Amino acid sequence: MSLPESGPTDGGPAGEDGAPSLGEGIPPWYDHFALKSLLGAWALSACSPEETAAVEAHLAHCAPCADEALRLREAVSLMHREETLDLDPLLRSRVLRECLRRRPAELPLPRWAAPYDAETARLDALLRDMGDAEWNTPVRLRWTEGERTLTLCGVLAHLGSVDGLVATTLGLPDPLGPGAPRTVAERTEAAIERCRRHGPPFVRNKWRTQTRSIASAVTLRASEVADVPVSFDDVRRPVRDALVGRAFACWVHAGDIAAAIDYPYGPPAPEHLGPMVDFVVRRLPSAIAERRRAGLAAPPRRLTAAGAPGRTLRLEIEGSGGGDWYIPLDSPAALAVPEATVAHLAMEDTEFCLLAAGHVPPPEVAAGREGDREAIHDVLWAVASLSRM
């Protein structure tokens, strides 16, 4: 519908009684002021069909209302978030799911490896159209105990170097070559230096080839390798957990990259976000205990024997990737039971993950809190302490 750009400023052409003309076809129970009061709802597309027809007929005859309608429509447009014109990054997952539903794979990808496969594919899609200049874009990486700025290429090199610890556990070549260091910090520095020497195309190809090789290796040997431990500095995790953790890191750093180039990047698919949330939650009892040993958390309120019920926090994660968990507060070996709940903490799934990534400080997290404040404080900081570069 086109609106008049100019016209009388006194409410439009006057009728026989001197009142502004409303326009042809408008029911008699509408007057100028009633139609003017509907402009806000019309701009939001919230009018009924009859109201919409009446307002639009009136706008063709009333310049002041037409000008106001234009201003309201422009204001409404500012309320809408800009969307990318690119394909939905989750389209790949949906297409694969439908294909596999119709014709199951002879060797299906293990469910615990699906988040890693999907998140590396999403990051690869983000990188596909990068120009030469964008590869040198500074990307700010944050975690609870610090931050660091790397180039986009450096972030990808860091991801590939840590993924390499999983790759070598599976018997694949180390992306840094024979004799490469095994600690995360040293591997990151070595990978960044290789990025400077070889350039972005080399680093991207090396990273993507490795992610595909990892997915293929766990598909071919799922039952054999699922529980093989992978060493990350002083932490050892079975391959099944290590890959969920690497999927989490890939999503977080892809978000860092997208933020640096001002590009929209959404959360993982629900079936992939859920395992990431669960991966973080399962690490909380040990994280609370580690902070307590370091003097950063309150001492236990009472001694609890292994396997016996102890003080419990109910953690409620809302959203498609969420659920309910009960966290033991006084000892990782204690039994967490609903009957011993002393506190309740609730937050959205993506907010929880951003807290675990060190992207949201515990005092600023959007969460519902009820019960023992000290227990809630300790759990929030334990989640944040899990963040790494």
Domain with 288, as residue range(s), is: 279-385
- Domains of the chain: total: 3
Q: What per-residue confidence (pLDDT) applies to 322?
A: 94
pLDDT-based confidence at 6, cuts 50/70/90?
very low
Q: Radius of gyration (Cα) for the chain, nearest Å?
A: 28
pLDDT at position 14 over 70: no
**Domain-ending residue, one of 235, 266, 297:** 266
Per-residue model confidence as pLDDT tens digits over 24-58: 666 666 777 888 888 888 888 878 888 888 888 88
Q: What per-residue confidence (pLDDT) applies to 29?
A: 63
pLDDT-based confidence at 234, cuts 50/70/90?
confident
Q: What per-residue confidence (pLDDT) applies to 214?
A: 97
Instruction: For residues 127 and 224, state if they share a domain.
Output: yes
- Distance CA(149)–CA(147), nearest Å, equals 7
Per-residue model confidence as pLDDT tens digits over 132-156: 889 999 999 999 999 999 999 999 9
pLDDT at position 359 over 90: yes
Q: What angle do CA 182, 188, 192 make, to 5 degrees?
A: 135
Q: What per-residue confidence (pLDDT) applies to 97?
A: 65
pLDDT at position 101 over 60: yes
Structure tokens at 361: 């400080």
Instruction: For residues 262 and 283, state if they share a domain.
Output: no
Instruction: For residues 256 and 117, state if they share a domain.
Output: yes
Q: What per-residue confidence (pLDDT) applies to 24?
A: 60
- Distance CA(59)–CA(69), nearest Å, equals 8
Instruction: For residues 243 and 155, state if they share a domain.
Output: yes
Instruction: For residues 288 and 245, state if they share a domain.
Output: no
Least confident range of 82-86, 169-173, 281-285, 345-349 = 82-86
